[in-house]
């Protein structure tokens, strides 16, 4: 039996990393737990961007330029909705992508769970690992803006292009949510839990906010890869959200957010100057090239992370 690995994942950054992780471990021994607090209901459909980004990327069907959505996409439905029916068009669903949302929404409407819908979609894409939503309950990231509005995450990020300053980030529904079946058991039984290089506030944050997850992580070997390189985000909006959540935009500051359960942390080579600060948190740190231009680089990052964690656990 190989090493049992659990990855906690957001969207694009996680998907790139997972493309490497599946080369570094036996995929059959891998469980990926994805954030679902970016989910949104649109035109009556349940859209799960992070689950879909992971599925399409690892299934070989992602739009590689965007990093999300389907390759070979068309917009006939979106155009008809906007132009004929005058429906809001700030969040675009492509035709092929809509097929995924139709299937998911139908499973849910028939009384199935998000876990069941996700398994059916993952099987169709022949994903070689187990993909779980963090919860079957509705947990929704809310962005309270400095000008006092309470926006859904996608409304702020896509609808307003992350323009408004952020006063507060909340996870509505998290306090009463239950982890999806298999999540806590996978973490408790893992030889390694890997925090993907995802947004610490709105990707990993909601997973940690589901009751029981953080407590279970405290007894598991946990390694993470910094999503912040040289004081900047590799992609996404963590630079806009970390200050609102009380953290600096640095690799060490992200490690500090996880310090209660983190055993090892992988930083980019450019952040070698932050290694000492991370180790003062009681977290073993190492640097490597973390800019995952190819799956080969991503696999090297994954091996570095797992090797460091193995070292920490054995000493």
- Which residue ranges make up the site for ligand FO1 (CB under 6 A)? 10-11, 38, 47, 49-50, 52-53, 68-69, 91-93, 97, 154, 157-158
- 154 versus 287: smaller Cβ distance to ligand FO1: 154
List beta partners, residue 223.
Answer: 194, 264
Q: How far is the CB of 122 from ligand FO1 (least distance, A)?
A: 15
b/e per residue 15-54 (b: at least 16 CB within 10 A): bbbbbbbbebbebebbbbbbbbbbbbebbebbbbbbbbbb
Residue 158: CB minimum distance to ligand FO1, A: 4
- Choose between 15 and 22: whose C-beta lies nearer to ligand FO1: 15
Helix, strand, or coil (residue 42): strand
User: CA distances (Å), 264 to each of 139, 208, 271, 279, 285, in order?
Assistant: 28, 17, 15, 9, 6
Smallest distance, Å, CB 12 to ligand FO1?
A: 6
**Residue 24 or 207: which CB sits closer to ligand FO1?**
207
User: What's the rounded Cα separation, in Å, for the pair 131 and 28?
Assistant: 11
For residue 185, give both structure tokens: 């058991």
Nearest to ligand FO1 of 158, 312 (CB atom): 158
- Compute the least distance from the CB of residue 224 to ligand FO1, in Å: 18
Smaller CB separation from ligand FO1, 194 or 238: 238
User: Cβ of residue 235: shortest distance to ligand FO1, in angstroms?
Assistant: 9
Residue nearer to ligand FO1 on the CB measure, 97 or 191: 97
Which residue in the block uniquely carries the two structure tokens 């964690």? 309
- Minimum Å gap between C-beta 42 and ligand FO1 is 8
Identify the three-state secondary structure at position 182.
coil
User: Encoding tokens for residue 19?
Assistant: 């493309």
Per-residue burial over 222-237, b if 16 or more Cβ lie within 10 Å, else e, is bbbbbbbbeeebbebb
């Amino acid at each position: 039996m190989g090493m049992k690995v659990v990855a906690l994942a957001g969207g694009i950054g996680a998907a790139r990393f997972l493309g490497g992780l599946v080369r570094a471990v036996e995929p059959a021994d891998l469980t990926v737990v994805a954030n679902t607090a970016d989910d949104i209901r649109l035109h009556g459909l349940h859209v799960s961007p992070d689950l879909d980004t992971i599925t399409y990327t690892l299934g070989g069907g992602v739009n590689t330029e965007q990093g999300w959505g389907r390759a070979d996409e068309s917009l006939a439905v979106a155009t008809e909705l906007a132009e004929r029916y005058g429906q809001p068009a700030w969040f675009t669903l492509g035709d092929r992508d809509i097929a995924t949302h139709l299937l998911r929404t139908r499973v849910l409407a028939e009384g199935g769970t998000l876990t069941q819908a996700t398994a059916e979609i993952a099987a169709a894409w022949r994903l070689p690992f187990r993909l779980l939503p963090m919860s079957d309950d509705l947990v929704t990231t809310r962005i309270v803006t400095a000008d006092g509005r309470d926006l859904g995450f996608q409304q702020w990020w896509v609808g307003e292009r992350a323009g408004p300053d952020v006063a507060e980030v909340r996870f509505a529904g998290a306090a009463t949510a239950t982890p999806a079946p298999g999540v806590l058991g996978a973490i408790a039984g893992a030889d390694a839990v890997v925090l993907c290089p995802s947004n610490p506030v709105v990707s990993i944050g909601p997973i940690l906010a589901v009751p029981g997850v953080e407590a279970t992580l405290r007894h598991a070997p946990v390694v993470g890869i910094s999503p912040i390189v040289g004081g900047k985000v590799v992609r996404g909006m963590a630079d806009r959200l970390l200050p609102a959540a009380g953290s600096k935009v640095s690799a060490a500051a992200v490690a500090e957010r996880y310090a209660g359960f983190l055993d090892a942390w992988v930083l980019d080579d450019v952040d070698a100057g932050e290694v000492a600060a991370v180790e003062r948190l009681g977290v073993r740190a190492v640097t490597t090239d973390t800019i995952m231009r190819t799956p080969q680089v991503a696999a090297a990052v994954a091996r570095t992370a797992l090797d460091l964690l193995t070292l920490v656990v054995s000493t």
